[in-house]
Structure 1
């Protein structure tokens, strides 16, 4: 039997993981940025001090990039609090997570480490190893020039490696006027772009934009000519501005990540969505099938209660993010299910035309969904049940205790919003597991994690689950005991 301290530790870790999945320290509909950041900072400090090995192990989970960077920063800043074995394990987890983070996020992390004056030997080694593994140092120098300069100064990065020619990279970063010509094509294109318009189109899109504005290049012409240099995300972000200017920027919508594609769709006017129904629905379903993979069609009868109430507006920083998560989950559940019945809180039946509207009658929609006796019921909502307040929790309590004590229907609540006041994602009922969700792509992995919050599995099972995730994250062989366990 698990001890009281083990139960508390398991609850604390689940609390932190849910926060690290959902919160980015930005304003939400019900709380401002200051409250979000203060609450999140407290959780990071609390879990790091009391459960440092578990804190580090969370780098192997599906937490968002903001919190992954914070964990790395805190582990490096407090290296003196760890044992030698913990530092070795942390170093491997940090290296593996940095390799998965977007480069701009890593360079911001390095800048934060410099500001915090974290400059121990392990930190410098981690920064050098990460930079050495970058596929194109010249691209980083042009695209993330400020970040690379900061990292080079702080960690004394070797800029004269085999890929460099005669110290060109160092000159480019710190003394670009020293050379009249660079032998590295990308570096020289940056030099020429100051006075030659043709060189602008040899640069990465984000860098070329500044030069195009300085040269007064027409936006339509610029977008069409720079399109081959755009990344997949850049094509998606500029799609509507290009369309408005009559520029053609080819884009494979079906190849986009599912939640990001859902955000793009919600950013379109309702008339455009209706006019492009076949294209947009096909793209969302293609992305959902790709995300479902081998699990497609294996979840049996699935019902979903999806929140599209006014609170899914989100905030200026996270516009429509809760609704985008719900929309993406809708298409993913459709792909995972054998038969699928969605219930939107607004009562609408056309998911493509979803927009934030009205109160949150979760209880009424739960009654509708449970009436169909599904094998699985997935609720995607911020948990602010208010029409009438508390009905959803009562429906779930009665269903679980009186009508379905044998758990014939599996119920899980996925919440895309962090509640700063309660240091958690808001729950609907103690009898139903709740997990934080940010991207619908993580839904299949979050369902098993949510079961730990239901209390039907103990701390030992949670530790085994985390240990397995760490092993797979680090590419270790099965059966090896995690250093944090």
Structure 2
């Protein structure tokens, strides 16, 4: 009898372990998708395929692993998926108990505070369209709206979104004047707030345009037929750094007026890749200095601590991305190059095209990943980082075979840590494409997230166990909520 009971206990434990392993694999798959997928067209798949695949994945993980689904809000996922998670949690609030709802509420509030306001207003509209208007949703909306630093700016810049959110949640506007501006625009002949007054005057005073935020003034100027070049020249002092970069290519805003050294790494890489070759060569010192400065900021205290590092970076034709994500995969690879250079003690880069000058890379040719992996492993680095969409086609499958033989026969003790970072979501496989079963793979959208993604990729090897993944998620959640608390206090 004791033997039977022991066998039953052992079977139960094995079943729990198997369930934990499945949960860990599901969460890692979801995190890869939530980092890379944006529901937009990719090089090898359309927007419809992306959205359908992503919707299934969200629903599957939410229904089967809701606590881990919510915990993903504390990770470096993209804004599109963060908004989808919040929407999913609020639309299916009945699936969670009171304690889980409290934890989700804290995560949702923290993530909404980190999202761009236009994304949050779009989320509120989606909740309204779905008929989600319970007390919990109204409280979350009310707290987020109350924390907005300048309600008048939101009323001018996101007028439709703010008006919809106030109506949906039955909230009051911050001031009576703001309420009149949003819902009774003809009730006042003058506003006390200078921004609201400037918007009113912009309907008939040309000079009032240049007192408005750039995105608002741009629309008003187009409706009034204001000359584009004159408008850009006069509105330039009110532009943000990113807005100035977007208009530089039109020639109205001089390039030297933007301080590239304070831009985020991936955004800066995208900007560099948008420049013609001749301009990249002419501004080589400025652009290289800015990229290295951004990489050092992203590396932080870990700079120089990674030992001997080799990188295989994909600049094949598919790194051109798509019309809506132009050169995004190549920009991630370029940013990763400079970040790994900052993190490493010694560093070697191997571009799939054979390029030697990272500043002049362009999407070109096939993807001979296997040959470049062989080149990189020849020096026995301590770390090998591969940044590629995983379509190894010159010849097909060589990279996976090289990595398999390296891991099983030449380096079974894992003296070289290998990780594959993939910037492209594979809609058909519900994950990012992998090179070899024994090589951990993680999705990546921004190069500056590389150190954190290398850490989470190790869970894909299966050596740390599901308990280690849960502990990691708990730690990231606690850190995320602590940062949010400090920000709210400020």
Query: 1:466 and 2:473 equivalent?
Result: yes
Residue of structure 1 equivalent to 2:8: none
- Deviation of 1:461 (Å): 0.3
Return closer, same or farther for 1:94/1:109 CA change in 2, 3 Å cut-off: same
More helix by share: 2
1:141 correspondence with 2:169: no
Give the Å deviation of 1:402. 0.8
Structure 1 partner of 2:39: 25
Out of 34, 50, 75, the position equivalent to 2:64 is: 50
CA displacement at 1:215 relative to structure 2? 3.6
| Counterpart in the other structure of 1:38 | 52
Cα-to-partner distance string for 1:284-338 (whole Å, 9 max, x where unaligned) = 1111111111111111111000000001111111111111111110111111111
Instruction: Tell me what 2:347 maps to.
Output: 340
SS in 1 for 2:420: strand
CA distance in 2, matches of 1:239, 1:406: 52
Separation of aligned partners in 2, 1:233 and 1:219: 18
Cα deviation for residue 225 of structure 1 reads 2.2
| C-alpha distance in structure 1 between counterparts of 2:172 and 2:311, whole Å | 53
Equivalent residues in 2 for 1:346-357, closer than 5 Å: 346-357=353-364
Structure 1: stretches of 5+ with no match in the other structure: 478-485
Does 1:76 find its partner at 2:90?
A: yes
Is the counterpart of residue 377 in structure 1 residue 391 in structure 2? no
Question: 1:49 & 1:407 partners in 2: Cα distance?
Answer: 37
The equivalent residue for 1:327 is: 334
* Residue equivalent to 1:252: 259
Query: 1:481 is matched with which residue?
Result: none
Q: Which residue of 1 aligns with 2:199?
A: 190
Matched, 1:411 2:418: yes
Q: What count of residue pairs does the alignment treat as equivalent?
A: 470
**Shift in Å at residue 229 of structure 1?**
1.4
Question: Residue 205 of structure 1 is aligned with which of 207, 210, 214?
Answer: 214
Q: Could you tell me how far apart the structure 2 residues matched to 1:36 and 1:212 are? A: 36
Asked if 1:230 is matched to 2:239, the reply is: yes
Query: In 2, distance between residues paired with 1:246 and 1:43?
Result: 43
Deviation for aligned residue 1:248:
6.8
1:480 corresponding residue in structure 2? none
Bigger mean CA deviation after superposition, 217-226 or 310-319: 217-226
Unpaired stretches in structure 2, ≥5 consecutive residues:
1-13, 485-490
Matches within 5 A, 1:47-446: 47-159=61-173, 161=174, 164=175, 167-241=176-250, 244-245=251-252, 250-446=257-453
Check the 8 A contact 1:258/1:287 in 2, yes or no: yes
**Deviation of the 1:468 alpha carbon:** 0.5
Q: CA deviation at 1:80?
A: 1.0
For the 8 Å contact 1:224–1:248, the answer to whether it is kept is: no
Structure 1 segments of 4+ aligned residues over 4 angstroms from their partners: 246-249
Structure 1 position 389, deviation (Å): 0.5
**Cα shift at 1:156:** 1.6
In the other structure, the counterpart of 2:488 is: none
**Residues 330, 74 of structure 1: CA spacing in aligned structure 2 closer, same or farther, 3 A cutoff?**
same
Question: For the aligned residues, what is the CA RMSD?
Answer: 1.4
Q: 1:342 to 1:279 in 2, by over 3 A?
A: same
CA contact (8 A) 2:248 2:254 kept: no
For 1:450 and 1:204, locate their aligned partners in 2 and report how far apart those are by CA, in whole Å: 41
**Cα shift at 1:221:** 2.8
The worse-fitting range, judged by mean Cα deviation, of 284-293 and 356-365 is 284-293
Distance in 2 between the 1:219 and 1:378 partners? 46
- SS of the aligned residue for 1:90 comes to helix
| TM-score, with structure 2 as normaliser | 0.94
